[in-house]
Amino acid sequence: MAEHYEHPYPSSELESQYPFVHYEHERFTEEEMRNRSHGFYEQMERRRSVRMFSSDPVPKSLIETAVKTASTAPSGAHKQPWTFVATQNPEIKHAIRVAAEKEEEINYLENRMNKEWQEALAPLGTDHHKEFLEIAPWIVVLFEQRYETNVDESTSKNYYVKESCGIAAGFFIAALHHMGLATLTHTPTPMNFLNEILDRPKNERPFVLFPVGYPLKGVKVPDLKRKDLDEVLFSS
């Protein structure tokens, strides 16, 4: 039975004003879809956040491909309100580590993070030491563009900025894991020092910092269990 849409998209009027193209989609058999979905799930199930990285170099081209993948994420009004800044410069990485540890010392040692928060983090064993920021071959910082700055210095509003950047961050993490690299989502709140160190404009705000590299050989991670499907999915 053919589907009937009372309000087809795009309308002829819309298509007369803006360009549209046919979406190229390959439809698989149900068996192939199950195989693909289980294969991807099993791969992502092995993903873990790593806090000890090898200093082995990672080609810049891999970082670029991961960012291109992240930029395929959907975004509010297709504004793509993100900027990825990647550095392998030892001096810049050192400056980021020093600034991050300064904020984290306040968080952990001067109780900017309350007791409940620190108790929740206890099984992970995190503290204010962030050596990985210097040892990992790359630091990639995702900045959210709160608004756009136009050529004439006027500004334009962006929409669903945090949601858009969150999805892009997920794509970036998945891309890194898929290619065999590891990362960690690091948010040493507040993070405004990253604007200064990385010379970013005032319309950008740090969203998340990713150290990127190969896991250190023999690295350990907490023995965590993910929620069961019936805890995260309700369907009818």
Q: Tell me if 217 is assigned to some domain.
A: yes
Enter the tokens of residue 75. 């975004």
| Residue 149: pLDDT over 80 | yes
What's residue 1's pLDDT? 62
Q: Residue with structure tokens 């092995």? A: 46
- DSSP bridge pairs for 209: 141, 186
Q: Tell me if 77 is assigned to some domain.
A: yes
- pLDDT band (50, 70, 90) for residue 126: very high
200, 204, 207, 211 alpha-carbon torsion, rounded to 10° = -20
Give me the chain's average pLDDT, please: 96
| Residue 26: pLDDT over 80 | yes
Q: Tell me if 183 is assigned to some domain.
A: yes
pLDDT tens digits, 218-232? 999 999 999 999 999
**Alpha-carbon span 45 to 219, nearest angstrom:** 17
Angle between helix 60-70 and 161-179 (nearest 10): 140
Is pTM, for the whole model, over 0.85?
A: yes
Q: Tell me if 16 is assigned to some domain.
A: no
| Residue 3: pLDDT over 90 | no
Q: What is the mean pLDDT of residues 141-163?
A: 95
**Alpha-carbon span 31 to 24, nearest angstrom:** 21
pLDDT tens digits, 187-215? 988 999 999 999 999 999 999 999 999 99
The proportion of the chain whose per-residue pLDDT surpasses 90, expressed as a percent, equals 93
Q: Which domain holds residue 136?
A: 49-221
Q: Tell me if 203 is assigned to some domain.
A: yes
Q: Tell me if 27 is assigned to some domain.
A: no
| Residue 46: pLDDT over 70 | yes
pLDDT tens digits, 56-109? 999 999 999 999 999 999 999 999 999 999 999 999 999 999 999 999 999 998
CATH of the domain at 97: 3.40.109.10
Q: Tell me if 170 is assigned to some domain.
A: yes
When divided into structural domains, the chain yields a total of: 1
CA angle (85, 74, 160) in 5-degree steps: 80
**Alpha-carbon span 86 to 211, nearest angstrom:** 10
CA angle (116, 120, 122) in 5-degree steps: 115
Q: Tell me if 40 is assigned to some domain.
A: no
Which residues lie below 8 Å from residue 65, measured CB to CB, with a gap of 6+? 175, 179
